[in-house]
Amino acid sequence: MRAGVFLRWVAHPLTVGATAVLLLNDHVFKQAWPGLVTGKLSDVAGLVVAPAVLGLLFGLFRAGRIGAAAATLLTGAGFAWVKLTTAGAGVASAAWSVVNGPSVVLADPSDLVALPALGIAWWAWLRVAAAPPLPDGPAHRLRVMVAVPFAVLGITATSAPSATLPSVDAVKVVGEQVMIEADGRFYSSRSGVGDWTPLPETPPEQVPERRPQLEACVPDDAAHCYRVHGGGDLDPSETTPRGGRLLGVDETTDAGQTWQTAWEVPAARWPFVKRQHPFPGGVDRLSKVASVDVLVRTVPGGHEVIVANGVEGLAIRSGDGAWRRVPVVVTATGLDIRPAPLTGFGQVIGDDIIDAGLITLLAVLIGMSVATGRARARLGHGLTVLMPLVLLLVAAVPITGAVVFFTASAGTSTGPGLVLALCLTGTAICLTLAQGVLRRSRAAVVSAAAVLTGLAFLGPVFGWTVGHPAERGPAVELGLILATGCLFLVVAAGWWAGRDPVRR
């Protein structure tokens, strides 16, 4: 079976149409007409697109009909596992968080009504498998180059965050119970760590106004107090307010004469944490990623400190003095607030990946310019080798605009940035290999050197995501230095590629 049939499956009108429905429904229709129909429409469209995208992996091994059937069955089985089990929903949440920022996927058996959509995907496969091969012309190549990235984009660029982002805004003690206010509701727990019980909803007009408690003292030691870093007056115009130390707690044992940091998210990791909380419409509400309320209570063996950290959940100091970040998860109401990890390989660097794609594109243009110049000198007449790349630059405008539109609320999520970078880079390489003046093998070497240049820039950035280096600035600077060094390799590859042009 032809491996190219899987590409045609992705480019089939049904798959392309389902991708358009998925993107529009997630980013337009759900916000305009929320309800049952738009809620299930994404599941239906996603089940039409996903088997074709998954089939591309089987196409690498020329798996044919068996591969298409496996892709369809795996899509259905995975969808059912996610919607029927808590473990499946947890795995899906973790996977989507890597490519699309912090995401929560909830198990919902009612979504299984969308499973018959797999039949539409299988019918599309049967149509492309039975059809005669299409000529490998520019129209077919363009169709595939456009369809594949946007099918991947449709799956990765899921719904935008809701208008209100769940956060823990207040914490207090009522009797022996710890009470928190989260997402407009109140929850109580005896331990203050888990087993949260939702309290009856109170009309907003009956909720007493309470100012956050920025400082609290140990009940039996008035000189021993704690205060939060966040809260109070925050200046959103500052790039890193208070040095980025919004998530933290100070401690004093001499009635406030001296303070020292008891716990905090390190300032060097603040940008990584903040990037994992994109807000609707790009609004940067720093007060939601900050320690805003604190309480201290006596417990056996000492005292306990509980801090409300907004979208980061809670920070708790136990009686033995150990600090930890604690999620707030209430299955009954669907509340799920988790602290962002301080490290995570490849997460929230979508803007850097786009920069790497642009660097790769620039390197291709430089390498092909050198190759063209030398080939022109050898052939003794003008060449139009760069014309396909000029067309690429023109085509990049609508491609970039569409990706930006559908991922405007994704912040710096890795997935959408990767889709755009692969789309631009892949198109540039395809157009480079399709020209008929330089030998294809030599043009491939120029393309490989350009890709290496983009990867050289990304290397230190990937290191930053795992904490080495701890700060992003030095990582970006090192990446630029490495990419600049690789440009010399690109120029050398272009000079070599133009040495032996194809004579017509």
pLDDT at residue number 24: 77
pLDDT at residue number 445: 93
Residues 247 and 391 in one domain: no
**Structure confidence by residue, pLDDT tens digits, 245-291:** 789 999 999 988 999 999 999 988 988 988 887 665 444 566 788 89
Q: Lay out the sheet containing 314-317: strands in order across.
A: 293-299, 302-308, 314-317, 323-326
Residues 323 and 403 in one domain: no
Q: Kindly tell me if the per-residue pLDDT of 488 is higher than 90.
A: yes
Residues 373 and 472 in one domain: yes
Question: Based on the structure, what is the number of domains in the chain?
Answer: 3
Residues 356 and 411 in one domain: yes
Identify the band that residue 231 occupies on the pLDDT scale cut at 50, 70 and 90. Answer: low
pTM of the model: 0.73
Residues 106 and 140 in one domain: yes
How confident is the model over 143-157, as a mean pLDDT?
60
Range of the domain at 76: 1-159
**Structure confidence by residue, pLDDT tens digits, 420-467:** 787 778 777 777 777 667 888 888 899 999 999 999 999 999 999 999
DSSP output for 9-34 = HHTSHHHHHHHHHHHHIIIIIHHHS-
Residues 142 and 199 in one domain: no
**Structure confidence by residue, pLDDT tens digits, 305-343:** 999 999 899 999 998 899 999 999 888 887 888 898 999
Identify the band that residue 209 occupies on the pLDDT scale cut at 50, 70 and 90. Answer: low
Tell me the residue type at 31. Q
Q: Kindly tell me if the per-residue pLDDT of 472 is higher than 70.
A: yes
Last residue of a domain, one of 290, 311, 337: 337
pLDDT at residue number 141: 54
More confident residue, 194 or 491: 491
DSSP output for 364-379 = HHHHHHHHHHHHHHHH
Residues 19 and 152 in one domain: yes
Residues 361 and 496 in one domain: yes
Long-range contacts at 377-382 (CB < 8 A, ≥ 24 apart): 378/498, 378/499, 378/501, 379/437, 379/501, 379/503
How confident is the model over 64-84, as a mean pLDDT?
85
More confident residue, 108 or 121: 121
Last residue of a domain, one of 159, 190, 222: 159
* Beta-carbon contacts of residue 172 (< 8 Å; ≥ 6 apart): 178, 179, 210, 213, 293, 295
